[in-house]
Structure 1
Amino acid sequence: MNHSTSAALVANFCLNNFTDLDQAKLDREYYYAHLPLCVVDSVFSMGVKYESVRNVVTRIKGFFHNTTYREFGSEPKSTADQISITEFRRKLANQTPEELATHVYGNKQRTSSQNGILKAEAVNLFLEVLVKYEVDYFQDVTKLIGNGDFKKDIKRIPGQASGICLSYFFMLAGNDTLIKPDRMVEAFLEGIVGRKCTLTESQNLLAEASNLLCEQGYEMNPRLLDNVIWNYQRKLVITKG
């Protein structure tokens, strides 16, 4: 099955099974009020049920004056109204990764079952890389577009070699051309294509499928289609469970 045929099958499945496709909208995580929350979410979301990530975000909302989200559909607020990467790092500076995992995030998950580090430590390392590239606010993320060195530095963090966490960070920070092919999306595409797809294949399939849906009159992009598919698969899992 060639790429174009697979993309058409994805688009047709969406047209035939997603009854509210014309009302599709992103989940609230895509409207965080502060960039550090995008880091926390992207790191803690790897390989787990998303409810645990939302629990982590709820536990740390006090660090952000309880302004976790901005208004739905809105652009990032001015930098004066954001908690910067630097400020968030400063709030955490006097605690070890173990203390952060226990007392701040309330989550001791590791980036990998073999030789992984605490996700709390991975967040710290991700934040350090952002500071290295002078990224403090949403408005700074454009500096990272096409920066291969930044990508390499993030992928050196234990557990981040696949690049999925990095793609998801960019999605949460506002990039609507990327996807996060986690287990939900992987299962969806495998069911249609008949085999597991690589990260690049998944990205390309949803990009082309979203273009096909646009041709049918729907407002769609890869990030939104990824989110729609994720929610569809999640409902199936809950129903079967």
Structure 2
Amino acid sequence: MRPIAHSSTRMSQISAVLTRDEIARGRKEMYYHTPRELESLVNACERDLGDDALWFSPDGYPASLALCIIDAVFSIGVKYVGVVNLVRRYRAYRVGQTGNADADGGLELMGTFEHLDGPEGWAAKLENKQRTSTKSGILKSEAVLREAHILARHGIWTVRDLLAARQAGRLSDIKADWCAVPGQRSAISWSYFLMLARVLPEDDVPRASTDKRPQLGRTSDFDDAVAGVKPDRMIKRYVANAIGVGGAGLSDRKAAALVKAAAGAKGWDVIALDHAIWRFESGRPHELKREDW
């Protein structure tokens, strides 16, 4: 395990702290956290999660844009076991078509909707009729299809295309369209989509400096502060307990920013840390046993 510098100077450098003048001008405190909060989270991770070399590798679909979209959209606001079951059924359905879900791109995903007569037929066949919202929400299956079409309009048919879009600095435009689909406005599903594809938005555009705190209100800076973290209820509960606040008093983005800052402080992979916290908080094993090596 790599030691962390506990000095207040070091903690200040990796914390996004707002000045009182900025707060007075009405800036949102989505990312605001104190050095003490960051240190508390790091200490909790060291205590609970053990050696990062033993953490389970996070799930993802580095060769399947289709599964990245499905998982990202359907995982919002539900217990993840439902998503696991959906992915299992989609894989079985694709086997029945002599296809391979784990290699499906956007074209193959769209083809499944055509074969099943649209979002309603797709939802019925795969036994998941969840909606993006209980009030006037659309079927999540329809949201999946809309996202697939949006990505296609941007020339994104595969994960490789997505990586190329990142290198070309085009992710922010794609994100804006993704978030326009009902139920995706918070951008949590977008962030998780990138995580599942193993694409982080912090490389989207070149940075002149990495030691400046985010200027709140700029989309790209919001992405930098939370990239690689999906602040679902397990992540938020763990972070809230670690820093001693009630869950209702912790925003999604503050929780995500703290996890990413903790990863930066220790040199941990941020996606691996997110996954380890999620497994620990949900009562699942989060690390390999040394005898399994």
Give me the TM-score of the superposition, normalised by structure 1: 0.82
Once residues 98 and 211 of structure 1 are traced to their aligned partners in structure 2, the CA distance between those partners, rounded to angstroms, is 43
SS in 2 for 1:93: helix
The yes-or-no answer on 1:224 pairing with 2:275 is no
Once residues 179 and 256 of structure 2 are traced to their aligned partners in structure 1, the CA distance between those partners, rounded to angstroms, is 18
Once residues 114 and 6 of structure 1 are traced to their aligned partners in structure 2, the CA distance between those partners, rounded to angstroms, is 36
Q: How many residues align?
A: 217
The yes-or-no answer on 1:40 pairing with 2:70 is yes
2:255 alignment partner in structure 1 = 202
- Structure 1: state its 5+ residue gaps: 70-81, 215-219, 237-241
Tell whether the 8 Å contact from 2:94 to 2:100 is kept in structure 1 after alignment.
no
Tell whether the 8 Å contact from 2:38 to 2:262 is kept in structure 1 after alignment.
yes
Cα deviation, residue 20, structure 1: 4.6
Tell whether the 8 Å contact from 2:66 to 2:105 is kept in structure 1 after alignment.
yes
Q: In the alignment, residue 230 of structure 1 is paired with which amino acid?
A: W
Once residues 68 and 210 of structure 1 are traced to their aligned partners in structure 2, the CA distance between those partners, rounded to angstroms, is 32
- RMSD between aligned alpha carbons? 2.1
Once residues 91 and 192 of structure 1 are traced to their aligned partners in structure 2, the CA distance between those partners, rounded to angstroms, is 44
1:14 to 45, 50, 58: 45
2:123 to 98, 101, 109: 101
SS in 2 for 1:157: coil
Tell whether the 8 Å contact from 2:64 to 2:101 is kept in structure 1 after alignment.
yes
Q: In the alignment, residue 106 of structure 1 is paired with which amino acid?
A: E
1:192 to 236, 242, 251: 242
2:150 alignment partner in structure 1 = 129
Once residues 121 and 230 of structure 2 are traced to their aligned partners in structure 1, the CA distance between those partners, rounded to angstroms, is 29
Once residues 26 and 178 of structure 1 are traced to their aligned partners in structure 2, the CA distance between those partners, rounded to angstroms, is 14
Offset from partner CA, 1:83-123 (integer Å, 9 cap, x none)? 321122123225122111101x2101111111111111010
Once residues 240 and 174 of structure 2 are traced to their aligned partners in structure 1, the CA distance between those partners, rounded to angstroms, is 31
Alpha-carbon spacing, 1:149–1:2, altered in 2? closer, same or farther (3 Å): closer
Compare CA radii of gyration and give the structure with the larger one: 2
Once residues 24 and 17 of structure 1 are traced to their aligned partners in structure 2, the CA distance between those partners, rounded to angstroms, is 12
Tell whether the 8 Å contact from 2:184 to 2:190 is kept in structure 1 after alignment.
yes
1:116 alignment partner in structure 2 = 137
Alpha-carbon spacing, 1:179–1:100, altered in 2? closer, same or farther (3 Å): same
2:11 alignment partner in structure 1 = none
**Bigger CA drift: 193-202 or 129-138?**
193-202
Alpha-carbon spacing, 1:146–1:32, altered in 2? closer, same or farther (3 Å): closer
Once residues 104 and 101 of structure 2 are traced to their aligned partners in structure 1, the CA distance between those partners, rounded to angstroms, is 10
1:30 to 60, 70, 79: 60
SS in 2 for 1:120: helix
2:88 alignment partner in structure 1 = 58
Once residues 66 and 18 of structure 1 are traced to their aligned partners in structure 2, the CA distance between those partners, rounded to angstroms, is 38
